[in-house]
């Protein structure tokens, strides 16, 4: 029982880390970055390269973040910026970009599945049971992401501008906020976070060119359900992630993988604002 | 669309006659070339074109949902896949025969319509965004493929279903059947899109909010369009599987859904002819390219 509870919380932590980057981009730009999965994969391969070079994990994580951020900066300036007024075309363009990145990764690293050794191995004795230490570390990682994020949004000048753009972009522009810069920075941070989460999940799953995709749908639905706030994202990750673990354990894993998407769609249909202001 | 305008704006009293003549000549040309073409083409090209015709029908449905109604959909491949699997499962379970074929068609239509109605109910409601509808449309094929993977021998899992007995037609007649089906679907689609219904659909695309103000139940129309296009797409899938004799999870995957979008985008969305050109072009080109450059 406790194992399932821990599974649920750690799965929620992973989902939260992956979705947070998507959420901030959605909040500011009102578009969903369909290349998010590709950036997750890029981060995973950055971790793979880092691990091959025998870099310590303290360096691998920033490396992954920087790689993702660089990809994000390039994408924003070349593609996304031109499509702000056409959100559906932006979806299509980022989706296409995602496919291209996947193919490029396949060309460089090959199709085969690869593995990365976890930095923290073995089990930890936790509340009376032995549990994977790395998964517990994920809870800490999710909390760090949440705290840093909240700190950035509420404690800095840039965060203030970002919140202004999220609330009312026109008005913010009128008051002299450089919203193009806010968009660029948000997109870069979002992509960096995607890559970071990719690096974090590598020790738990294998690395292959399409590894980001299974997470993407869950992340999309979580972002839609949470309606743009970090707190509700955490709540929905816990509720739906927990449900996913329960279904995977007691019913069957394939259905478990679909739980989040289906539940979120039904929730949104019945209650269009999702978990927001619940 | 520019084409549609030409027809509409000729304006004078004589248009009925000259436009009617032009359309008759065009129709005769199309039907004639479809009937005669297999005599001139080699077997390989004919085979590719037959598949491409069925894919083009699916592309037309994407064009209607996306180009005319303004919902970017990755999900039409799911309905195509439903048609493919309806045929494959029934022919594998019960063998080949006329009642099995009818049962297959009925299953394809009912299953596709049910899934489409459910998808529509989930994606279109007052306050839903086009973005959200797109995401739901991406979820549908992914869910379907997962179900196919977990179906064991019933759905053939990841290797799909092969080796079932199917319609015994000559390749030339398959070509005519597929080509004429495509021409028929295209004609019906063109007629509907130029009618008042078509204008309404374009209005949904251009300004959903305003349509609501004018008293149009936009969600209902979108759901109806989705159900109808889903049925057409599933029948296309049915034909595709009947010709190919193979059902693979790829037929239902979002990758195929994306391919359909690319075809429509390349050919020109909002124009039925564009969807056909895009689909035939990409199908034929990729068949020949993958022969010489198999890994791209």
What does the alpha-carbon distance between residue A15 and residue A225 come to, in Å, rounded to a whole number?
A: 13
The reported pLDDT for the residue numbered A200 is 86
The reported pLDDT for the residue numbered B56 is 94
Answer whether residue B234 shows pLDDT above 90: yes
Say if B11 falls within a structural domain. Answer: no
Which chain B positions have a beta carbon within 8 Å of A262's beta carbon? 139, 143
Contact present, A73 and A190 (Cβ < 8 Å): no
Considering only alpha carbons, which residue of chain A is nearest residue B72?
A88
- This model of the complex carries an ipTM of 0.78
Considering only alpha carbons, which residue of chain B is nearest residue A89?
B72
Which tokens hold the place of A91?
A: 């979806």
pLDDT tens, residue by residue, B175-209: 989 999 999 999 899 889 888 988 998 898 888 88
- What's chain A's average pLDDT? 83
Among the residues of A168-250, which ranges form H helices?
169-174, 179-201, 213-226, 230-250
* pTM, 2 dp: 0.84
User: How distant, in Å, are the alpha carbons of A71, A173, A220 from that of A35?
Assistant: 10, 27, 11
Chain centroid to Cα A132, Å, comes to 22
The reported pLDDT for the residue numbered A232 is 85
Say if B9 falls within a structural domain. Answer: no
Q: pLDDT category, A77, cuts 50, 70, 90? A: confident
Answer whether residue B4 shows pLDDT above 60: no
Q: Which of A92, A98, A273 is best to mutate for the B interface (most B CBs within 10 A)?
A: A92
What does the alpha-carbon distance between residue B125 and residue B281 come to, in Å, rounded to a whole number?
A: 36
Contact present, B47 and B287 (Cβ < 8 Å): no
| Chains A & B: contacts with CB separation below 8 Å | 57
The reported pLDDT for the residue numbered A278 is 47
User: How distant, in Å, are the alpha carbons of A104, A266, A276, B195, B241 from that of A263?
Assistant: 34, 5, 15, 39, 32
The reported pLDDT for the residue numbered A277 is 62
The radius of gyration of chain B's CA atoms, rounded to the nearest angstrom, is 19
Total residue length of chain A? 278
Considering only alpha carbons, which residue of chain B is nearest residue A91?
B131
B146 sits in which H/E element: helix B130-149
Nearest chain A CA: its distance from B163 CA (Å)? 27
Say if B157 falls within a structural domain. Answer: yes
CATH of the domain at B249: 1.10.3470
Nearest chain B CA: its distance from A266 CA (Å)? 7
The reported pLDDT for the residue numbered B172 is 85
pLDDT tens, residue by residue, A253-276: 777 778 888 888 888 888 777 776
Which of A91, A254, A269 lies at the smallest CB-CB distance from B131?
A: A91
Answer whether residue B9 shows pLDDT above 50: no
**What are the residues whose beta carbons fall under 8 Å from the beta carbon of A113, sequence distance 6 or more?**
A206, A207, A208
Q: Where are the domains of chain A?
A: 2-211
Residue B140 has a CB neighbour count (10 Å cut-off) of 29
C-beta atoms of B131 and A99 within 8 A: no
Which chain B positions have a beta carbon within 8 Å of A252's beta carbon? 150
The reported pLDDT for the residue numbered A122 is 64
- Higher-pLDDT residue of B239 and A1 is B239
pLDDT tens, residue by residue, A222-238: 888 887 778 888 888 88
**What are the residues whose beta carbons fall under 8 Å from the beta carbon of A255, sequence distance 6 or more?**
A247, A248, B150
C-beta atoms of B139 and A257 within 8 A: no
Question: What is the tally of structural domains in chain B?
Answer: 1
Say if B2 falls within a structural domain. Answer: no
What does the alpha-carbon distance between residue A32 and residue A20 come to, in Å, rounded to a whole number?
A: 12
The reported pLDDT for the residue numbered B63 is 92
Residue B268 has a CB neighbour count (10 Å cut-off) of 17
The reported pLDDT for the residue numbered B116 is 95
The reported pLDDT for the residue numbered A219 is 87
Which tokens hold the place of A203?
A: 């020790």
**What are the residues whose beta carbons fall under 8 Å from the beta carbon of A205, sequence distance 6 or more?**
A211
Which tokens hold the place of A194?
A: 């995607």
A→B interface, C-beta within 8 Å? 30-32, 87-88, 91-92, 95-96, 99, 217, 220-221, 224, 252, 254-255, 257-258, 261-262, 265-266, 268-269, 272
Rounded to an integer, the average pLDDT of A143-168 is: 85
Q: pLDDT category, B2, cuts 50, 70, 90? A: very low
C-beta atoms of B72 and A221 within 8 A: no
Q: Which of A226, A268, A271 is best to mutate for the B interface (most B CBs within 10 A)?
A: A268
Nearest chain A CA: its distance from B143 CA (Å)? 7
Answer whether residue A129 shows pLDDT above 80: no
Q: What angle do CA A107, A109, A115 make, to 5 degrees?
A: 150
- Strand locations in B64-106 (E): none
Query: A172 burial class (0-12, 13-18, 19+ CB within 10 angstroms)?
Result: buried
Answer whether residue A126 shows pLDDT above 50: yes
C-beta atoms of B135 and A221 within 8 A: yes
- Give buried/exposed letters for A71-81 (b at 16+ CB in 10 A, else e): bbbebbeebbe
Which of A87, A96, A261 lies at the smallest CB-CB distance from B131?
A: A87
Q: pLDDT category, A241, cuts 50, 70, 90? A: confident
Say if B251 falls within a structural domain. Answer: yes
- What's chain B's average pLDDT? 85
Which of A30, A91, A258 lies at the smallest CB-CB distance from B72?
A: A91
Which chain A positions have a beta carbon within 8 Å of B146's beta carbon? 254, 257-258
Nearest chain B CA: its distance from A155 CA (Å)? 31
pLDDT tens, residue by residue, B115-132: 999 999 988 887 778 888
A202 sits in which H/E element: none
Which of B70, B146, B262 lies at the smallest CB-CB distance from A258?
A: B146
Share of chain B above pLDDT 90, in %: 32
The reported pLDDT for the residue numbered A124 is 66
Beta bridge partners of B162: B246
pLDDT tens, residue by residue, A156-214: 888 888 888 888 888 888 888 888 888 888 899 999 999 998 888 888 777 877 777 77
Contact present, B201 and B68 (Cβ < 8 Å): yes
pLDDT tens, residue by residue, B32-78: 888 888 888 888 888 889 999 999 999 999 999 998 988 889 889 99
pLDDT tens, residue by residue, B248-284: 888 888 889 988 998 998 888 888 889 999 999 998 8
What does the alpha-carbon distance between residue A71 and residue B92 come to, in Å, rounded to a whole number?
A: 48
Nearest chain B CA: its distance from A235 CA (Å)? 20
Residue B257 has a CB neighbour count (10 Å cut-off) of 26
Q: What angle do CA B167, B170, B171 make, to 5 degrees?
A: 105
The reported pLDDT for the residue numbered B108 is 94
Say if B6 falls within a structural domain. Answer: no
Return the closest-CA partner of residue B138 out of B86, B81, B74, B79. Answer: B74
Which tokens hold the place of A137?
A: 């570390």
């Amino acid at each position: 029982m406790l194992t399932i509870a821990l599974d649920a919380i750690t799965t929620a932590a992973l989902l939260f880390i992956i979705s947070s980057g998507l959420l901030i981009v959605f909040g500011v730009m009102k578009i969903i970055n369909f290349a998010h999965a590709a950036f997750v994969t890029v981060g995973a391969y950055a971790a793979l390269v880092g691990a091959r070079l025998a870099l310590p994990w303290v360096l691998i994580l920033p490396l992954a973040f920087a790689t993702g951020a660089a990809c994000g900066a390039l994408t924003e300036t070349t593609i996304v910026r031109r499509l702000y007024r056409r959100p559906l075309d932006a979806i299509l363009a980022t989706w296409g970009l995602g496919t291209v990145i996947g193919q490029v990764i396949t060309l460089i690293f090959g199709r085969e599945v690869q593995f990365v050794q976890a930095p923290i191995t073995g089990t930890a004795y936790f509340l009376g049971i032995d549990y994977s230490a790395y998964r517990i570390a994920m809870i800490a990682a999710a909390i760090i992401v949440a705290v840093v994020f909240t700190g950035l949004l509420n404690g800095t000048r840039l965060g203030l501008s970002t919140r202004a753009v999220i609330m009312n972009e026109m008005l913010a522009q009128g008051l002299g906020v450089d919203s193009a810069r806010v968009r660029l920075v948000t997109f870069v941070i979002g992509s960096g976070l995607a890559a970071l989460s990719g690096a974090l999940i590598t020790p738990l799953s294998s690395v292959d060119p399409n590894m980001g995709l299974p997470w993407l749908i869950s992340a999309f639905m979580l972002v839609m359900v949470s309606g743009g706030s970090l707190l509700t994202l955490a709540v929905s990750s816990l509720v739906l992630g927990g449900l996913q673990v329960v279904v995977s354990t007691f019913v069957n894993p394939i259905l478990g993988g679909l739980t989040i998407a289906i539940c979120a769609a039904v929730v949104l249909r019945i209650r269009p604002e999702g978990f927001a202001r619940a | 669309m520019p084409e549609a305008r030409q027809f509409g704006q000729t304006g004078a009293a004589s248009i009925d006659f000259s436009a009617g003549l032009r359309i008759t000549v065009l129709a005769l040309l199309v039907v004639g070339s479809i009937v005669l073409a297999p005599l001139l083409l080699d077997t390989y090209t004919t085979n590719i074109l037959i598949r491409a015709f069925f894919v083009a029908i699916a592309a037309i449905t994407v064009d209607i949902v996306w180009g005319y109604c303004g919902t970017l959909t990755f999900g039409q491949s799911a309905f195509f896949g439903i048609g493919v699997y309806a045929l494959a499962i029934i022919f594998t379970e019960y063998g080949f025969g006329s009642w099995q074929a009818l049962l297959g068609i009925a299953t394809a239509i009912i299953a596709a319509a049910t899934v489409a109605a459910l998808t529509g109910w989930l994606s279109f409601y007052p306050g839903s965004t086009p973005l959200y509808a797109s995401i739901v449309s991406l979820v549908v094929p992914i869910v379907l493929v997962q179900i196919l993977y977990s179906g064991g021998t019933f759905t053939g899992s990841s290797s799909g279903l092969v080796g079932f007995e199917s319609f015994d037609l000559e390749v030339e007649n398959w070509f005519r059947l597929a080509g004429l089906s495509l021409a028929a679907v295209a004609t019906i689609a063109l007629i509907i899109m130029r009618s008042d219904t078509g204008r309404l659909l374009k209005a949904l695309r251009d300004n959903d909010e305003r349509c609501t103000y004018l008293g149009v139940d936009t969600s209902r129309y979108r759901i109806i369009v989705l159900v109808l296009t889903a049925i057409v797409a599933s029948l296309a899938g049915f034909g595709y599987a009947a010709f190919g004799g193979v059902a693979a999870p790829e037929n239902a995957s979002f990758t195929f859904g994306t391919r359909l979008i690319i075809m429509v985008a390349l050919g020109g969305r909002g124009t039925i002819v564009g969807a056909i050109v895009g689909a035939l072009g990409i199908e034929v080109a990729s068949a020949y390219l993958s022969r010489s450059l198999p890994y791209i």
